[in-house]
Amino acid sequence: MKKGCSYILEKGRVIDPQKGIDQVLDIGIEDGIFVEPGKVKKPVRINLKGFIAAPGFIDMHVHLRQPGGTDKETIKTGTMAAAAGGFTSIVAMPNTSPAADTPGAIEYLKAHAETSGCVNVLPAGCITKNYEGVEMSGIGGLKKAGIVALTDDGNCVYNNELMEHVLVYSKTFRLPVLDHCQDAFLSEGGLVHDGFWGAVKGLRGIPSASESIMVARDIILAEVANWKVHIQHVSATGSVELIRNARKKGIQVSAEVTPHHIALTDECIKNFDTNFKMNPPLRGEDDRKKLIEGLQDGTISVIATDHAPHTITDKMVEFAYAPFGVIGLETAVSVCLTELYHTGYLDLRDVVSKFTSGPAEVLGIDAGTIELGKKADVTVLNPDFKYTIDKEKFYSKSRNTPFNGKKVKGRAVATIVSGKFVFSLIDGISGII
Amino acid sequence: MAETKWTKKDLLSMEDLSVDEINLILDTAEEFKKVNERNVKKVPALRGRTVVNFFVEPSTRTRASFELAEQRLSADIINMSASTSSLTKGETLLDTGKNIEALQVDLIVMRHSAAGAQQFLAKNLRCGIINAGDGAHSHPTQALLDIFTIREKKKKIKGLKVSIIGDILHSRVARSNIIGLLKLGAKVTIAGPPTLLPKEFEKIGVKLCDNLVDAISDADVINLLRIQHERQRAAYFPSISEYASIYGINADTIKYVKKDALIMHPGPINRGVEIDTAIADGDQSVILEQVTNGLAVRMAVLYLVAGCLG
């Protein structure tokens, strides 16, 4: 990347959960890296009084759809959406077409991210070839190509023996395994949560047990392999309890939750609106409360969006025929500040940790903290910024949000990647996008 | 009773209907039932109106009932099925709907295998939509004709004990009956193999029962559902013969049924499975009257909905 300007971010409340910092401090940035504020030459001074300056936010669950689905999203539009949502780094899911299961596919992603991406794109590789759950992909080669994690996201690795081998093998390469937990039989044909609204609306359910069974399986195998398994988009009460107990025992299991599972319940499907159709499905109010509890006690250390763009044509169909998935990059921070911070469930430091130190630790990457000499990625928040979410203002190519029209409080007002403002709502500072 | 006015361009589900609206349909159907008993059965109520019967999921009896109802109201009608529409050529449902609407059609009577399909189309089209069954969700005219039949025989709905027996999980007939009957103050019990009884219905006041005798003993109405093999993807119960022996109404179990209880079935019946021949054809059975009443109820619905189209 080109050299950026030099900045001093002044008078902001700096929250860096990994370092245990929560105080008003100045941050110096020169040549794209963090430096002592006193040593910055010819800085542009930016007053962040009243704002939060946090390490750059990481979304470890994003579908960029390139290659193969560029009518839904591209690396360019997806990273713009990330920047507008406050994310400086995103992990790209490998279920593209063709799938990211070869070093060549990872090179393709990195090359395009370099030329057309405006935030850091961290590649994930498939656990199995074409994420079919049959044959292990070339994990060592993928690691050399630069992946940060393995996942067959969209599919679960149903074969227990294969999953065990994957966990044992991936430990050699220090690659965490991210699993989309669902049982093949229990989830087959399911459209919504197997609960009240599914029963009343005659929509086939995906039971909570479908997720929890595989969470239990993954925990057992993580213990056997003594390696890291990460449960993607946890949705059910039982899963939270299993993960909590396993973490107490010291098993290397971590978990993420999406903003939509925190904010919404299965009641949202009562009008058959496909913008509330996602997998795992929105579950009951008890589950929603349990997920928040999991965030509070640290069982769930990551918030990730599962940003899953689909075209209007894809979604404007019968509920049963619509693809699963909603977008989230441009709403996540606002929704979480509204639903977790302003409700009093979490303090700001905890909210920030779920987007920074939490995912950085799972991925084992050098990010999520403000460190002198390291890449200057910063997310600036205004926790009291009130607005109404308007999907027509999104940078994403898609509009399939469950939050259109929602009144929120709090948002990312600037996104700085390697010392450059890629997005800014701050007076006098313009972002790249 | 205050005069109720019909204001909906669509009839989508029992959930959408108020008690007054349900009663308005039933009262209107009574008038049309009289029309159907005349020598000349045709009235000009829908003359000049065009109705498309759009059956994306196959149907015989509901479609015949709607077609006849439309003809008796003097509507112009077109019949389309999934195979005669462009859905097989990859056209979306919305595009098909917009094409039908572009022909200046007034009403679409629609059946679809996906729950909510009619609701989706109704939201996006100006013409009226009458739901003739959407997946496992809703089949409002069936529930209305069932309720009409009960009201005609029992002179009331409130306080009646109605037991619905069979595959509740996959049944739009059950869902629509449950919701309509509860709105009108009936006490509803559902019974059948426990794997086919969604326990969530308890939350809206339905009693669950996995014992047939308990479910039928003090029931005023017993509504038997067809056991649908074609929708059974996985094993919910061991076999049709086991179902018949445990949940079927037969010579052994009819003893527990009150003598004045009505025995209903939306059809088509599986003789010897959910109901024995002698009982299906017996004095307590109102199965064929349901079919007769269905015509009157569908005429009423078509008439009311057409009345608030531009």
Q: For residue B135, which residues of chain A lie inside 8 Å, CB to CB?
A: 202-203, 320
B9 touches A at CB < 8 Å = no
pLDDT value at position A2?
44
pLDDT value at position B4?
82
Facing residues of B24 across strands?
none
| B227 compared with A31, residue with greater pLDDT | A31
Tell which of B92, B201, B231, B233 to mutate to test the A interface (max A CBs under 10 Å).
B92
**B226 Cα to chain A: minimum distance (Å):** 17
Tell which of B10, B95, B110, B200 to mutate to test the A interface (max A CBs under 10 Å).
B200
B20 vs B8: CA distance, rounded Å = 13
* Whole-number percent of chain B with pLDDT over 90: 87
What average pLDDT is seen over chain B? 94
Model pLDDT for residues A282-320, shown as the tens digit of each residue = 999 999 999 999 999 999 999 999 999 999 999 999 999
DSSP B114: S
pLDDT value at position B229?
59
Across the interface, which of B93, B134, B233 has its CB nearest the CB of A189?
B233
- Answer whether B115 sits within 8 Å of A319, measured CB to CB: yes
The three-point CA angle A176-A260-A95 to 5° equals 45
- Answer whether B114 sits within 8 Å of A319, measured CB to CB: yes
B28 vs B6: CA distance, rounded Å = 11
Model pLDDT for residues B107-125, shown as the tens digit of each residue = 999 999 999 999 999 999 9
The stretch B261-278 carries a mean pLDDT of: 95
- Answer whether B137 sits within 8 Å of A203, measured CB to CB: yes
B221 vs A30: CA distance, rounded Å = 81
Count CB neighbours of B107 within 10 A. 26
pLDDT value at position A201?
98
Question: What's the CATH architecture for A56-363?
Answer: Alpha-Beta Barrel (3.20)
CATH superfamily of this structure's domain B14-139+293-307:
Aspartate/ornithine carbamoyltransferase (3.40.50.1370)
Q: For residue B204, which residues of chain A lie inside 8 Å, CB to CB?
A: 200
**A315 Cα to chain B: minimum distance (Å):** 11
Q: In Å, what is the CA distance from B110 to each residue of B74, B138, B141, B266, B295?
A: 19, 12, 12, 18, 16
Tell which of A185, A201, A210 to mutate to test the B interface (max B CBs under 10 Å).
A201
**A189 Cα to chain B: minimum distance (Å):** 10
A89 vs A4: CA distance, rounded Å = 18
The three-point CA angle B293-B298-B303 to 5° equals 130
Whether residue A114 is predicted with pLDDT greater than 70 in this model: the reply is yes
The two structure tokens encoding residue A219: 């925990």
Per-domain boundaries in chain A = 7-52+375-424, 56-363
Across the interface, which of A188, A195, A272 has its CB nearest the CB of B116?
A272
3-class SS letters over A158-212? CCHHHHHHHHHHHHHCCCCEEECCCCHHHHCCCCEECCHHHHHHCCCEECHHHHH
ipTM: 0.94
A142 vs A129: CA distance, rounded Å = 12
Whether residue A251 is predicted with pLDDT greater than 50 in this model: the reply is yes
In the block, which residue shows the tokens 């609204």?
A: A197
The stretch B127-137 carries a mean pLDDT of: 97
pLDDT value at position B89?
75
pLDDT value at position B82?
79
Facing residues of B78 across strands?
B52
- Answer whether B233 sits within 8 Å of A188, measured CB to CB: yes
B140-290 CATH, one of 3.40.50.10540, 3.40.50.1980, 3.40.50.300, 3.40.50.1370? 3.40.50.1370
Model pLDDT for residues A373-386, shown as the tens digit of each residue = 999 999 999 999 99
Backbone angles phi, psi at A379, to 5 degrees: -115, 125
Whether residue A181 is predicted with pLDDT greater than 60 in this model: the reply is yes
pLDDT tier at A432, thresholds 50, 70, 90? confident
Chain A residues touching chain B at CB-CB below 8 Å: 185, 188-189, 195-196, 198-204, 271-272, 313, 316-321
Whether residue A393 is predicted with pLDDT greater than 70 in this model: the reply is yes
pLDDT value at position B2?
52
What average pLDDT is seen over chain A? 97
Q: Nearest residue on chain B to A196, judged by CA atoms?
A: B200
Residue ranges of chain B that CATH labels 3.40.50.1370: 14-139+293-307, 140-290
pTM: 0.95
Q: For residue B12, which residues of chain A lie inside 8 Å, CB to CB?
A: none
Model pLDDT for residues B71-88, shown as the tens digit of each residue = 999 999 999 987 767 777
pLDDT value at position A1?
40
pLDDT value at position A4?
59
pLDDT value at position B232?
56
Task: Identify the CA nearest to B207 among candidates B247, B254, B161.
Answer: B161
A7-52+375-424 CATH, one of 3.50.50.60, 3.30.1360.70, 2.30.40.10, 2.30.30.100? 2.30.40.10
